[in-house]
Chains A and B, each alone.
Chain A
Amino acid sequence: MIANRLLRALRDGLKSIVRNGWMSFASVNAVALSMLILGLFYLLVSNINHFTSTVEDQVEMKVYMELTAGEQETKQLEERLRNDPAVKEVQFIPKEKGLEQFTASLGERGQLLEGLKEENPLPDAFLVRTYEPQQIAPLAEQLKRLETVRNVNYGQEYVDKLLSFTDAVRWVGLILVALLAVTAVFLISNTIRITIFSRRQEIEIMKLVGATNWFVRGPFLVEGILLGVFGALIPALLLGIGYSVMVDKSQATLAMYSIELLPVYPLTLQLTGILLLFGACIGGGGSWISVSRFLRV
């Protein structure tokens, strides 16, 4: 009995999509268009998010030891750093290596430092990375207070600015996607309402011959969900293909600016899933609400 009803709702819903050809076309279009814009922003925001996280991950701090600090004290500090829950990575840079790096960074003029090898003026140092970039500043404060630490350097000004910028970018992206989602809901449910309004007589007659509310809703619900899914499938495909082509073509160019796009998988699969689910929900929900308004016969 229940299987029978489901089957009927499915069959009638499909039939009605075909019979209302133009209306179905209009609904699918509305869904596809809104989803296309929404999906585009989703990809954009995901990538911006990815980019900002990469930049954030590059935030690191250098902890310089006092020149007077001995091996024992260096060990102690390393221990202290490794046991800190905020610390992700600690790298010891002995003064010899520090000088090498410094020399290398000067290029040809590095030769000038040649004479310093014997009497290295640089302190031992640690390169520290935290799990979250926001953890850098408080950790730096703590370390500065230690007697064996001479200086802590993490480009404070730069990091603070970077963090407030990436936060702002994330919020703007989130708000944009939310606004677009609301617009999509409105546009799609409006189209469905018009479609159903044009068939209110059908609903009225069904009710007059004794159909239950569920019987009337069933096919409309199926129809709405299917239109939503069809509508979402088109932009999902377009965006999926478009994105992988774009990643392919632009990889070399973007790498020069050390920008890395998110890989095609799983991003496009995620996007497809989100769009399909969203389409089905709006389609189904939209018809449910619209039909209910005409059920009071």
Chain B
Amino acid sequence: MIDLFDVWKTYPNGSHALRGVNLSIKHGEFVYLVGPSGAGKSTLIKLMYREEKPTKGQIFFDGFNLSRIKEREIPKIRRKIGVVFQDFKLLHRLTVYENVSFALEVVDTPKSRIKKRVEQVLEQVQLLHKKERYPSELSGGEQQRVSLARALANKPSVIIADEPTGNLDPDTSWDIMQLFVEINRQGTTVVMATHNKEIVNTIRKRVVAVEDGRIVRDEQRGEYGYDR
């Protein structure tokens, strides 16, 4: 469902973030992106949800050619993709409920369906009882669960996560990972950039290692492979 063919990304300052990446992710897969900082993981992820455009090469998502797509078609793609970030990116002036319903209002969901769906996803991340709270009143793990609920609200076919456990303590990280595994089991593709060795080595999934803008390793049920 996500296919990259000889993708290059060169930033205006001349640095090559990606140098000829070929990658194919199938529907329902769970993929870890690992590698040292600055290796190109974040760039790779940004290309997948079309925050960045490749300098060269083709990226296909669900039949759309992301390298050719028009500016005004981007929203269509984004609605099929849920994104989760290390820093949660919640709106602090909105309640938990509003942070999630926001994602549904954006796509013109009827009011009656919004309430139902928001409660459904908040239930899924076990935060329904805190729906009237504000993000600042929640722990880091809870905030990440809200952002996961927001990502799930539109029933995306893929969840793309950029170090979702990067800001969390180990126990909380495991809780979050349980949710990702559960979401994946229900059929959603998961692509996750991570630095968490224990998690990668315990919850065994496909591992794609990126170094210096190239894919150097791609194994099913792989290992983290770095010291930290």
- Interface residues of chain A, those whose CB is within 8 Å of chain B, are 1, 4-5, 8, 19, 201-202, 204-213, 215, 297
Measured between beta carbons, the chain A residues less than 8 angstroms from B91 are 201-202, 205
* Given contact pairs A8-B105, A209-B102, a sample of 19 additional A-B residue pairs in the complex whose CB atoms are under 8 Å apart: A1-B108, A201-B91, A202-B91, A206-B102, A207-B75, A208-B51, A208-B78, A209-B103, A209-B106, A209-B154, A210-B75, A210-B76, A210-B106, A210-B107, A210-B154, A211-B75, A212-B72, A213-B72, A215-B106
A262 to B: closest C-beta gap in Å = 47
Q: Which of B36-90 contact A (CB under 8 A)?
A: 49, 51, 72, 74-79, 83, 89
Closest to B79 in A: A210
B228 within 8 A of A: no
Given the contacts A1-B108, A215-B106, A297-B51, A210 and B89 also touching, CB distance less than 8 Å: no
Instruction: Verify if B116 is at the interface (C-beta below 8 Å from A).
Output: no
By a CB distance below 8 angstroms, the chain A residues around B74 are: 207
Contacts of B107 in A (CB 8 A): 209-211
User: Does B150 reach chain A (CB closer than 8 Å)?
Assistant: yes
The verdict on A208 contacting B89 (CB below 8 Å), with A8-B105, A215-B106, A297-B51 known, is: yes
Q: How far is the CA of A201 from the CA of B154 in the complex (A)?
A: 20
B113 at the interface (CB under 8 A from A): no
Q: How far is the CA of A206 from the CA of B79 in the complex (A)?
A: 11
Complex CA distance for A19 and B154, rounded to whole angstroms: 26
Kindly list chain A residues whose C-beta atoms are within 8 Å of the C-beta of B75.
207, 210-212
Q: What CA separation (Å) do A48 and B17 show in the bound complex?
A: 66
Most buried by B among A204, A211, A213: A211
User: Using a CB-CB cutoff of 8 Å, which residues 101-155 of chain B contact chain A?
Assistant: 102-103, 105-108, 150, 154
Q: Is the CB of B108 within 8 A of A209?
A: no
In the complex, what's the smallest C-beta–C-beta distance from A210 to chain B, in angstroms?
Answer: 4
Q: Is the CB of A208 within 8 A of B83?
A: yes
A residues near B89, Cβ cutoff 8 Å: 201, 204-205, 208
The 8 A CB mask of B146-178 against A (1 = contact, 0 = none) is 000010001000000000000000000000000
Q: Which residues on the A side are within 8 Å of B105 (C-beta)?
A: 8
Q: Nearest A residue to B77 by beta-carbon distance?
A: A210
Closest-by-CB residue of A relative to B99 is A205
A209 to B107, CA, bound (A): 9
Enumerate 23 A-B pairs (CB-CB under 8 Å) in ascending A order: A4-B108, A5-B108, A19-B93, A202-B91, A204-B89, A205-B89, A205-B91, A205-B102, A206-B106, A207-B74, A207-B75, A207-B78, A208-B49, A208-B51, A208-B78, A209-B103, A209-B150, A210-B107, A210-B154, A211-B75, A211-B107, A212-B72, A213-B72
Residues on A with beta carbons closer than 8 Å to the beta carbon of B103? 209-210
A211 to B77, CA, bound (A): 10
Enumerate chain A residues within 8 angstroms of B78, measured Cβ to Cβ: 207-210
CB neighbours (8 Å) of B79 from chain A are: 209-210
Question: Smallest CB-CB separation from A297: which chain B residue?
Answer: B51
Least CB distance, A242 to chain B, in whole angstroms: 38
**Bound Cα distance from A215 to B104, whole angstroms:** 12
| Closest A residue, CB atoms, query B105 | A8
CA distance A1 to B102 in the complex (A): 18
* Distance, CA A297 to CA B83, complexed state (A): 13
Q: How far is the CB of A134 from chain B (nearest CB, A)?
A: 56
Q: How far is the CA of A209 from the CA of B150 in the complex (A)?
A: 8
Residues from chain B with Cβ under 8 Å of A213 in the complex: 72
The answer for the CA separation of A211 and B106 in the assembled complex, in Å, is 5
B22 nearest CB across to chain A (Å): 26
The docked-state distance in angstroms from the alpha carbon of A4 to that of B108 is: 9
- Bound Cα distance A206, B103 (Å): 7
CA distance A204 to B85 in the complex (A): 13
List B contacts of A207 (CB < 8 A). Answer: 74-75, 78
List residues of chain B with CB within 8 A of the CB of A201: 89, 91
Q: Residues of A contacting B77 with CB < 8 Å?
A: 210
Q: How far is the CA of A161 from the CA of B103 in the complex (A)?
A: 70
In the bound complex, residues from chain A placing their C-beta under 8 Å from that of B150 are 209
Chain B positions within 8 Å of A202 at CB level: 91
Q: How far is the CA of A19 from the CA of B91 in the complex (A)?
A: 12
Q: Which residues of B contact A210 (CB under 8 A)?
A: 75-79, 103, 106-107, 154
- Chain B 171-193 interface residues, beta-carbon cutoff 8 Å to A: none
The CA-CA distance from A205 to B49 in the complex, in Å, is 13
User: Closest approach, in angstroms, between the C-beta of A196 and any C-beta of chain B?
Assistant: 14
| A1 cross-chain contacts in B, Cβ below 8 A | 108
How far, in angstroms, from A297 to B52 measured CA to CA in the complex?
8
Please measure, in the bound complex, the distance between the C-alpha atom of A209 and the C-alpha atom of B83, giving whole angstroms. Answer: 8
Which of B72, B77, B103 has the largest number of chain A CB atoms within 10 A?
B103
In this complex, what residue of A is CB-closest to B153? A209
Chain A hits for B93, CB < 8 A: 19
Q: Nearest chain B CB to A60's CB is how many angstroms away?
A: 67
On chain B, the residues within 8 Å of A204 by CB distance are 89
